[in-house]
Structure 1
Amino acid sequence: MEQVAAAGTGGGPGEAPAVSVVNPGFLPIAGHSIARHQLGLALALGCTRIVVHAEMLTAEIVEIQHAAEARGARFHIITAARALVGLVAAEDELFVFAEGFLAMPAEARRLLDEAPGVLVLPVEAGVAAGFERIDINHAWAGALRMPGRIVAGLGDLPADWNPVAALLRLAVQARLALRAVPQALLERGRWRLVRTEDDAHAAENDWLAQHTAADHMRSPGEWLAVQGVRRIGPALLHARTRPWVVAVAALVLVMLALGAGWWGWSGIAFALIGLGWVLSQAAGMLAKVEQDSLLESSGRVRGGSWLNPLLDVVLIGACAWHGSSAAVTGAGAGTAVPAGATWFAPVVLVLLLWLYPMVLREFCWTGWLCDRLLVALVLIGMTLILPVQTALHLIVLALLATALAQAHGLFPNRLLTTGS
């Protein structure tokens, strides 16, 4: 048995494809067309044959074809409904997506994986959202899964029928099970039909918000990274700026921080480290949006984890070099500074920043220690009034004392667990 996916790129129910300036299937969401998002869902559902209904070959279709074939799927373009009959065997299963259908991949995959059927919404809410009414109580939710044997019925329909509309009609006539899509998905923007450019702009904002949502209170640096992705991310993705480019920008800031730390400009170094961490988080979020929405890998950039050790090495160096310079200046000529004396405190600090989130996971505040922007701001603030080494000692003592107090129940474990 073969899994087949079919998608339309034009035309209304029971009509020949309509000619329009904007094709809903090619409207961009987060840098990729809706048809490309549908392809990712089809491949994740195990489809090995992709069928697209289109009047002519376009650059967008060629791009989808290359993406499908690169992942081992066969690709076909049909101009009439009857052409689908020869592509689907009776033992196959066919997934059908409406033109402009866009849903959060996890929900769509879960519903379509469960069993064959026509996904439906309550008629009032569904029709108001642009979905097609199929009976007195239901509107089609834009996706269905049907046995391949039903496809043979296309040969009995007029040649000018839109394939997607024809398949929907055949599925309903065959009394395929109607499977309800939770209306909450529609209300929260996780399931929609995109028809116009205005719809696409609204959907894109919701799409990024949904993919960057969190169930915890964000730290300052993480919040800043999320805001950057939601505001600048669409422009970057439409320009086909890959996440690794943003990660390279973060790496440049880290290298500048290394130079600033070498010359003893610790404040500038700390600031550059914090900004570099924010950029690395933004790169990881952009990669996550691509991976989760297209259901495929987006390269090796994931959460900026590969850059975090380098950030901390530069942080240690900036603290130690500044402390060494200050120690030499204060000691005077002929007084030797013990080797490693200025490295101990920053190394202990960084080890605590890595240790606490791993071994004290039940305490919410330890998650904030991963935020290097927050760490940088604390260091900048304290070094304005204290020597670097003194500030490091006080921070280390404060972390140890807080952990001990929390472990003995002296402080409530009360950070908000909801976020956006």
Structure 2
Amino acid sequence: MRVALLSLIDAVAGEPQGLRGYLTIGGRSLARHQLGLALALGCNRVVMVAEALTGELVALQRVAEARGARFHVIAAAHALLPLVTEDDDLFVLADGLLAQPATALAQLGEAPGVLALPVEAGLAAGFERIDINHAYAGAMRLPGRLVAGLGELPPEWNPHAALLRLAVQGRVPLRLLPETLIRDGGWGLVRSEDEAHRIEPVWLRQHTATAHMRSPGEWIAARTVHTVGPALLHAGTRPWVVALGGVVALLLAVGSGWFGWRTPGFVLLGLGWVLARVAALMVRIERQSLLETGKAPPTGVWFEWMIDVAFVMLAAWRSEIPHLPGVPFGIAWFPPIVLILLLHFLPRVLTAGRWAWWLRDRLVLSIGLALNSALLPFDFFLRAAVLALVVWAMVTVPARGDPANPDLTNRD
């Protein structure tokens, strides 16, 4: 069995009545972040060291039990003895530790070990010294047999300090973490409200980072999360609430287009797409930080297709061709359908780059169609855009070379 040991003991710096574990990052307490990590490590039992039972502890217990883990609250180190057997693995997380989940899972999931940092960087970050060269990084995985040593120590000892001493005496190997983790904000102790406010933007950027250069709409969505994300998360706003704003914008766009307001409709579609991207980023934050609520937002691939269908509808309604005599029915729908299909097809054949992501950006499309609708001959420039995309693709996509074995593929 895997057992996790967490704690709510250490006081907030400068506030003796506050506890580190209750400091919030992204609207969730540090204790909730650690619980998510413990559950991701496969812990079947979670033990919390605390002096009193609080509403926060009850909420943590509900989360643990909903994931199939047992939850225990103890007040002293000796109370841990009957909860851990010799065959168990014990995962210990320091009070106030905020660790990057991917790094913590990789380091703690391998084998027993005490995570350590270079002593200068570790001490400066608030961690305690292990020896002349290393500082304790606030997390370790121990074999259960070492827990029996708690019975030989005074009961007033701090459980984490006692277990660190037993791990060093038991020659549990040290596993050194790179110093860059602290500098980049991927690992550290949160000891005060000021530190929590300083770390939170870094934490958000870590979980919203992307390997490609963002398009304008993606950049606006990311900036929105970085700017108002903390306020939304602290207010308890879940991603599906933001996603519902995107659904409302989609419905308003179709309604405005039906009643003849096509230009505002295009703008509303872009707004709905951006809100859906904001919701997707918030879901990504919750999943990567192991805080997922299990309730998915009402947007996804199907919603993006609904946005594209709405673009086709508004463009067809905006066209002036159906008003001309002798025009076949449905001819106004053909150019916008081709445009949307091209925007789906071209990113698949183009080499990865900035423009491939711009083609996926529906905010750019909405602005372009809105400007065309308000200032230019709509039908002419819509067809010109389709033609320009086709010509651009012919120039950009490299031609296929000769077959590798022409003698085998050619026939007389």
Structure 2 residue aligned with 1:412? none
Match of 2:132 among 136, 143, 151: 136
CA distance in 2, matches of 1:214, 1:132: 34
Deviation at 1:386, TM superposition (A): 2.5
Is 1:320–2:316 an aligned residue pair? yes
Match of 1:406 among 376, 396, 404: 396
- Aligned pairs for 1:206-355 within 5 A: 206-294=202-290, 296=292, 298-301=294-297, 304-323=300-319, 326-329=320-323, 331=324, 335-355=325-345
SS in 1 for 2:47: strand
CA distance in 1, matches of 2:62, 2:307: 38
SS in 2 for 1:52: strand
Q: Relative to structure 1, is the Cα distance of residues 302 and 97 closer, same or farther in structure 2, using a 3 angstrom cutoff?
A: farther
Deviation at 1:385, TM superposition (A): 3.6
Deviation at 1:363, TM superposition (A): 5.0
Structure 2 residue aligned with 1:165? 161
Is 1:372–2:362 an aligned residue pair? yes
Structure 1 residue aligned with 2:410? none
Asked if structure 1 preserves the Cα contact closer than 8 Å seen for 2:215 and 2:354, the reply is no
CA distance in 1, matches of 2:59, 2:293: 17
Structure 1 residue aligned with 2:89? 93
Q: Relative to structure 1, is the Cα distance of residues 319 and 54 closer, same or farther in structure 2, using a 3 angstrom cutoff?
A: same
CA distance in 1, matches of 2:353, 2:236: 40
CA distance in 2, matches of 1:160, 1:194: 24
Render the CA deviation track for 1:113-154: whole Å, top value 9, x for unaligned.
Answer: 122110000111011011111211111001000000000111
Give the residue type in structure 1 aligned to 2:321: A
Deviation at 1:205, TM superposition (A): 1.1
Structure 2 residue aligned with 1:8? 7
Q: Relative to structure 1, is the Cα distance of residues 231 and 343 closer, same or farther in structure 2, using a 3 angstrom cutoff?
A: same
Q: 173-182 or 46-55: which moved more?
A: 173-182
- State the identity as a percent: 53
Deviation at 1:303, TM superposition (A): 7.3
CA distance in 1, matches of 2:164, 2:249: 54
Deviation at 1:306, TM superposition (A): 3.3
Q: Relative to structure 1, is the Cα distance of residues 306 and 164 closer, same or farther in structure 2, using a 3 angstrom cutoff?
A: farther
CA distance in 1, matches of 2:165, 2:218: 48
Asked if structure 2 preserves the Cα contact closer than 8 Å seen for 1:262 and 1:317, the reply is no
Give the residue type in structure 1 aligned to 2:232: L
Q: What is the alpha-carbon root mean square deviation over aligned residues?
A: 1.8
Structure 1 residue aligned with 2:376? 386
Deviation at 1:301, TM superposition (A): 3.0
Deviation at 1:364, TM superposition (A): 4.4
Q: Relative to structure 1, is the Cα distance of residues 31 and 184 closer, same or farther in structure 2, using a 3 angstrom cutoff?
A: same
CA distance in 2, matches of 1:30, 1:394: 46
Asked if structure 2 preserves the Cα contact closer than 8 Å seen for 1:10 and 1:19, the reply is no
CA distance in 2, matches of 1:362, 1:168: 49
TM-score of the two chains, using structure 1 as the length reference: 0.91
Asked if structure 1 preserves the Cα contact closer than 8 Å seen for 2:10 and 2:20, the reply is no
Structure 1 residue aligned with 2:406? none
Aligned residues: 397
SS in 1 for 2:188: strand
Give the residue type in structure 2 aligned to 1:216: H
Instruction: Return 5+ residue gaps in structure 2 as ranges.
Output: 400-412
Structure 2 residue aligned with 1:27? 23
CA distance in 2, matches of 1:273, 1:264: 15
Asked if structure 1 preserves the Cα contact closer than 8 Å seen for 2:240 and 2:298, the reply is no
Asked if structure 2 preserves the Cα contact closer than 8 Å seen for 1:250 and 1:277, the reply is yes
SS in 2 for 1:114: coil
CA distance in 2, matches of 1:148, 1:226: 44
Deviation at 1:20, TM superposition (A): 2.3
Deviation at 1:50, TM superposition (A): 0.2
Asked if structure 2 preserves the Cα contact closer than 8 Å seen for 1:261 and 1:321, the reply is yes
CA distance in 2, matches of 1:278, 1:339: 34
Asked if structure 2 preserves the Cα contact closer than 8 Å seen for 1:37 and 1:293, the reply is yes
Asked if structure 2 preserves the Cα contact closer than 8 Å seen for 1:284 and 1:302, the reply is no
SS in 2 for 1:22: strand
- Aligned pairs for 1:114-153 within 5 A: 114-153=110-149
Structure 1 residue aligned with 2:46? 50
CA distance in 1, matches of 2:60, 2:244: 28
Give the residue type in structure 1 aligned to 2:340: V
Instruction: Return 5+ residue gaps in structure 1 as ranges.
Output: 13-17, 410-420
Structure 2 residue aligned with 1:187? 183
Deviation at 1:179, TM superposition (A): 0.6
Render the CA deviation track for 1:311-335: whole Å, top value 9, x for unaligned.
Answer: 1111110000111xx2355x3xxx3
